[in-house]
Amino acid sequence: MGDSDELDKFFVPFERNPLFTGRKEFLKLLKERLHSQVPKKYNHRIALYGMGGIGKTQVALEYVYANRDSYDRIYWISAVNQTSLLAGYEKIAKKAGLKMPVNLNPVEIAERVLLWLRQEKHWLLVIDNVDDINVMAQLLPQNGPHQHTLITTRDPNSAGIPAEGIEVPLFDPAESVELLCTLSMIDNITCSSESVQAAQIIKELGYLPLAIEQAAAYVREVVGDFTTFLDDYKKNHRDVHEWVPRGNRLYPHSIATTWFMSFSVVRKEHPQAAELFQILSFLNPDGILIEFLQSGVDAFPDRLQQAISSRPNLSKYLIELEKFSLLKWNRQTKMVVIHRLVQTVIRDEMSEEERKTIWTTVVDICDEAFPGDWNNDASPLSNLFWPGVNDIAKCPHDTNFEIC
């Protein structure tokens, strides 16, 4: 097979990442699930979902290169919107040398490509960055034992694609330290001061790959060691979160930009859901009970009270936030969980006046939900202002309220 033939059958716009770290067991699971045939499942079509910065695209890219020999054809297309998805199918048609009648519209070209894929064997199609799962309606290939589709999306509603969903997890501590040290170009010597500082950094960053990558770039390009990084982070974490590493990167945005872009979409299209999320950004990230929110409903702004007290209306808000993986909503435990860094970014973008207003609301919600003298030992409201990610005073009811 000539080089041109190989290129026609392997259309992936990114090189393999030589610094890819960890995920061995997850990649093994992904391969097993793509190949398995299970009753009542969307077999051979997987949606990798998770919050921005979790590494969905990197996982898909590593899977592609690690399993390149398992497929005769591998194609990669973007689905940020339907236009880019249709353009991707048109590129496949050109790469595969498919003969198309003249004057076909983009949808008709995509349909011809899908029909062709149904007849081909041993292929993998990666559909990356699906911001809106609705763009894929009627535009997914038919899958089989050797015909696989791998999708990356922030939306956990994989059944709506439809596909089998697998959440990309946070790194574990060992993977996090390895990534930080590798990208910082600092040796991780066990029990050294750098090792101790590295462990503290990855804990501060919540084991999130993109945050660790940007922290490593800050160490590499600005401060040179982990101790100075921690000093800078404690003094002004906002500057670190907004730091954009130099050079060519697969992901061009800072950690702050990543999440605030998603939040901005919600605020534009669903302003009340965004207002609710701002309030949630001051509560315990490890778990906020729906019952707690409803118990304190009278302390919410009037425009939110009806939604909070109504399960269907509250569900609409939570689903809108969940679509961008800004939070996780566990229906069984009736609890929402938010990553600490997401909360920090949302708070950082507020004006001081907005933060004070929401603080007042949060304290009133606690007072409504937990009537009595729960706040006897708390400081006056002027001292309740969240000064940084490390200054956390536990409320007695810490399942819901972390910094009262």
Asked whether residue 400 is assigned to any structural domain, the reply reads no
Q: Which of 229, 208, 216, 317 is nearest to 272 (CA)?
A: 317
pLDDT at residue 392 is higher than 70: no
d(CA 358, CA 28): 45
Looking at residue 133, what is its pLDDT? 92
Strand order in the sheet with 73-78: 10-11, 73-78, 123-130, 147-153, 45-49, 164-167
Q: Does residue 47 sit in the same domain as residue 110?
A: yes
pLDDT (tens digit per residue) in 141-178: 999 999 999 999 999 999 999 999 999 999 999 999 99
Task: Return the minimum-mean-pLDDT range out of 3-7, 27-31, 131-135, 151-155.
Answer: 3-7
CA distance 149 to 45: 5
**pLDDT category of residue 191 using cuts at 50, 70 and 90:** low
Asked whether residue 303 carries a pLDDT value surpassing 70, the answer given is: yes
Question: Sorting pLDDT into bands at 50, 70 and 90, what band is 189?
Answer: low
Mean pLDDT of the chain: 87
CA-to-CA distance for 164 and 50, rounded, in angstroms?
14
Backbone angles phi, psi at 73, to 5 degrees: -135, 140
**In terms of domains, do 140 and 24 share one?**
yes
- In degrees rounded to 5, what are phi and psi of residue 123? -130, 160
CA distance 191 to 203: 17
Q: What is the tens place of the pLDDT at every residue in 271-287?
A: 999 999 999 999 999 89
DSSP 211-240: HHHHHHHHIIIIISSHHHHHHHHHH-HHHH
Task: Give every CB contact of residue 317 below 8 A, 6+ residues apart in sequence.
Answer: 270, 272, 273, 276, 307
Q: What is the pLDDT of residue 305?
A: 93
Q: What average pLDDT does this structure show over 42-54?
A: 94
pLDDT for 187? 77
| Extended strands (E) in 252-401 | 288-289, 328-330, 335-337
The whole-number average pLDDT for the span 317-343 is 94
How does residue 186 score in pLDDT terms, banded at 50, 70 and 90?
Answer: confident
Of 384, 380, 382, 383, which Cα lies nearest the Cα of 404? 384
CA distances from 4 to 45, 97, 304 (A): 28, 12, 59
Q: pLDDT grade, residue 137 (50/70/90)?
A: confident
Q: Please compute the mean of the pLDDT values over residues 113-135 and round it to a whole number.
A: 95
Q: Decide if pLDDT at 261 tops 50.
A: yes
Question: Does one domain contain both 13 and 155?
Answer: yes
Question: Which residues lie below 8 Å from residue 2, measured CB to CB, with a gap of 6+?
Answer: none
- If asked whether residues 19 and 151 sit together in one domain, one would say yes
The residue segments making up the domain with residue 227 are 173-241
160 and 179 assigned to the same domain: no
Whether residue 88 is found in the same domain as residue 41: yes
Q: What is the CATH number of the domain that holds 34?
A: 3.40.50.300
Q: Is the pLDDT of residue 228 over 70?
A: yes
* Domain end residue (candidates: 167, 194, 209): 167
pLDDT interval class at 131 (50, 70, 90)? confident
User: Amino acid letter at 230?
Assistant: L
Mean pLDDT of 307-329: 93
Residues 115 and 27 in one domain: yes
Residue from 214, 217, 212, 218 nearest 198 by CA: 212
How many independent structural domains does the chain possess? 3
Domain assignment present for residue 9? The answer is yes
DSSP state of 327: S
Res. 379: pLDDT tops 50: no
pLDDT at 372 over 80: no
Residue 386, pLDDT above cutoff 70? no
Rg of the chain (C-alpha set): 23
Q: Within its chain, how far is the Cα of 228 from the centroid?
A: 28
Both 114 and 208 in a single domain?
A: no
Task: Please report whether residue 209 resides in a domain.
Answer: yes
Confidence at residue 245, expressed as pLDDT on a 0 to 100 scale: 75
196-219 average pLDDT score = 92
